[in-house]
Structure 1
């Protein structure tokens, strides 16, 4: 059944579409500009000719980056911290969320509050750093993986997913003699794929974009991720120091190299996200309604 819209409703719909299109353009434009600048000549960038589409097309900056060894070391480190770190995050988050989803857990309220308090009250940056130093974890890959093994928000989110699973499934499994680990592995985790995909995406994006603590805790250039290397290029603007063995020629400027590295750093997330978008959307809504 079709309802005829009034003039005010039509105007409101048009206004909504215009605002959404404007917001979408404002959101996407920086990425479009960075990509266009990365394949434009230095003269076109300096003269301000690049606004939306590339000018004087050239891929020299990408060729320089591909030939550079340190960029690929940073890329490999970022992938390692993202995949290994996300796996560590999921293991610790599942280990905490599963028992906290059970009403039979002794002192359930105490442990829930204990985890929640860490969201608002933290030791601080200096005590945390001194603790890392005392444990001899400074400038190691282990500190990046274990120091940020879990966030309370994601743990609470996953606990909500576990609580939405019918208790009757667990009771039926126990009648058949299933252990807690079996119930978790064969019932809760398969039924929580949307939730795991959601928090996995949160963790993966956080790991990939990790910059501050990676810069503080890692000093070895062979261990730093791509984002820290990008920081050196942007903030310090010393290409010769952050991109070793790369000859800077007139065909490649500092800005072009920076734009090209930015594009390279965001490509993995752009490739991965469309494949898990449906799980992400489902995961954000699944645990919201209790029956």
Structure 2
């Protein structure tokens, strides 16, 4: 009993006696300062936008709104939320995001799973084709001609199809599939599962983290996308809410370039509406992110390193 206690005591003493070195403490302090600065820089614009959206127009014109709302006023929210076109565009954004994310995740998963197989003939060429598109594209005019000739102009597919596969997401998912033990698929083959059965019943259940990461990446991309709709659509009732916001911004810019005191007030009023629209547009992403944060973090780490 005494021997056991004596053997365990040095280990406990070593655990209690370990102290971080001075260099490590300095690193921790610098790291904390840098990360705090990043958090402040990241949060400041959003907090400022929220404060502007809740402030009275007179305080905005006087430039007195920073991080705290002045003259609490919800008039701008009532104006935006009473606009039927805003809700039409908002609904379009939801549809484009859900359909686009579903298609993109399915295509990216299938393509990445195929590319993760070293025995695939022509694998290098397929990877090369995908990587080539990261650096070179057909150009704006050829893409417009292609979408128009395919009859996809003023349709959902004009927004979804051109952005169906993101090569960065593809490579991250490919790296994750390559990190899975080969023995799992070999055992599935022995049990009689074909390629599709292995993917659906073995691989995908083990890939919840990376799939959640891809869903978040694609959902944010489609939610924030405006240029494709602005380029391939010419009907207001088909625009996403980001184009609605873009039109507000361009309207304020036009008023500002015209000059004059009245126009300056109009710019400030438009700026208030912009702030309200930005807040309403970002709320769904902010609401969804906490529920998939743990999958997002682990998914990025798993897809970034081939184990």
Long gaps (5+) in structure 1 = 240-249
Query: TM-score w.r.t. structure 1 length?
Result: 0.90
**Conserved 8 A contact 2:56-2:70:** yes
Q: SS where residue 236 of structure 2 aligns?
A: coil
Q: Give 1:118's match in structure 2, choosing from 110, 133, 136.
A: 133
Q: Tell me the equivalent position of 1:42.
A: 57
Residue 169 of structure 1: CA displacement?
A: 1.1
Q: Tell me the equivalent position of 1:282.
A: 298
Q: Give 2:237's match in structure 1, choosing from 222, 238, 253.
A: 222
Question: Is 1:72–2:94 an aligned residue pair?
Answer: no
Q: Tell me the equivalent position of 2:105.
A: 90
Cα RMSD after superposing both structures: 2.2
Q: Tell me the equivalent position of 1:130.
A: 145
Q: Give 1:231's match in structure 2, choosing from 217, 225, 246.
A: 246
Long gaps (5+) in structure 2 = 1-15, 255-265
| Residues matched between the structures, number | 280
CA distance in 2, matches of 1:276, 1:136: 37
Residue 5 of structure 1: CA displacement?
A: 5.5
User: CA-to-partner distance for each residue in 1:90-128, whole Å, 9 max, x for gaps?
Assistant: 111122111111122112212221222111121111111
Q: Give 1:3's match in structure 2, choosing from 5, 9, 19.
A: 19
CA distance in 2, matches of 1:64, 1:30: 23
Q: Tell me the equivalent position of 1:170.
A: 185
Residue 22 of structure 1: CA displacement?
A: 2.7
Larger relative contact order, structure 1 or 2 (CA cutoff 8 Å, min sep 6): 1
* Change in CA separation of 1:38 and 1:87 when aligned onto 2, cut-off 3 Å: same
User: CA-to-partner distance for each residue in 1:61-101, whole Å, 9 max, x for gaps?
Assistant: 11222222111111111111111100010111122111111
**Conserved 8 A contact 1:232-1:238:** no
Larger helix share, 1 or 2: 2
